[in-house]
Amino acid sequence: MSELIVENVSKSYDGRKIIKNISLTLHEGELVSILGVSGGGKTTLFNVISGLTEPDEGRVFLDGEDITGKPGRISYMLQKDLLLPYRTVEDNVALPLLLRGEKKKAAREQVRPYFEEFGLEGTQKQYPAQLSGGMRQRAALMRTYMFSQNVALLDEPFSALDTITKSSMHGWYLNIMEKIRMSTLFITHDIDEAILLSDRICLLTGRPGEITEEIVIREPKPRRKDFNLTEEFLNYKREILAALDR
């Protein structure tokens, strides 16, 4: 059981309020998107949730435990893969285990079975520079998963990829999420991506950023391949665009 609760979080930098009264709940196995413009405070919110920065007000709870300002409980994945260039893919994804104090050999042993699941079979001994952008993001997600099987924060993980790679990554992502059921908070500024992947979408708007609306995507998972070409999809998109206009 793992449930992330963010309660009334506010944060200012240099006297300017970036986010205001943010509350949200992430249930087990759920994917919730935070949709908003770049520079709207999404990353600040992530830093608060991951414990890297203390909020001015509000708390963050994971499974009932107060983890406000405590790094080391929830990890994240960014647009940049941040794989260490001098470690092989295998040793990169095993890094969270090494940081926890596991021996190198045991850590490699533990990550091995997941390579196939993440579509990274055969890359174990390669260096990140030898992988394509899409493969590197897969490895970055796998590393996040090795850190915690429960909750992950993804900050525009696919936005640096070209449209074609991005679309194939979406397919891969939906597929893997069916298998690993990781509760995920997903930051994006891409409306289509949000509708395609999410169970719920929170709109983060205004300055300071506030969650002004929550939209539930009722399309069951696993989603049809052509979901983004359907009338329902377009209706969701209309609804979101209208809400953003307000």
Partner 1 sequence: MRKRLQNITSAINTLAALAALLILWQIVCVMGIVPGFMLPSPVQVARAFAGDFPLLMSHLRVTLTEAFAGLFCGVAFGFVMAVLMDRFDRLYKAFYPLVVLTQTVPAVAVAPLLVLWFGYEMMPKIILIVITTFFPVTVGVLTGLRSADRDTMNLLRSMGAGSFQIFRYVKLPGAMGQFFSSLRISAAYSVVGAVISEWLGGFNGLGVYMTRVKQAFAFDKMFAVIFLISVISLLLMKLVDFIQKKCMPWEDAHES
The site for partner 1 (CB under 8 A) is made up of 50-52, 71-76, 78, 80, 82, 84-87, 95-96, 98-100, 126-127, 129-132, 147
Alpha-helix residue ranges (DSSP H) falling in the chain: 42-49, 89-93, 95-99, 104-111, 114-117, 133-147, 163-180, 191-197, 231-245
* CB 151 within 8 Å of CB 26: yes
| CB of residue 58 to partner 1, shortest distance in Å | 19
| CB of residue 194 to partner 1, shortest distance in Å | 23
Angle at 227 between CA 36 and CA 45, to 5 degrees: 20
- Indicate the residue among 33 and 50 with the shorter CB distance to partner 1: 50
| CB of residue 71 to partner 1, shortest distance in Å | 5
- Indicate the residue among 70 and 237 with the shorter CB distance to partner 1: 70
Cβ neighbors of 220 (< 8 A, separation 6 or more) are none
- Indicate the residue among 10 and 148 with the shorter CB distance to partner 1: 148
What is the b/e burial string over 92-103, where b = at least 16 CB atoms within 10 angstroms of the residue's CB? Answer: bbbbbbeeeeee
| CB of residue 214 to partner 1, shortest distance in Å | 26
- Indicate the residue among 121 and 245 with the shorter CB distance to partner 1: 121
* Three-state DSSP state, 170: helix
- Indicate the residue among 105 and 225 with the shorter CB distance to partner 1: 105
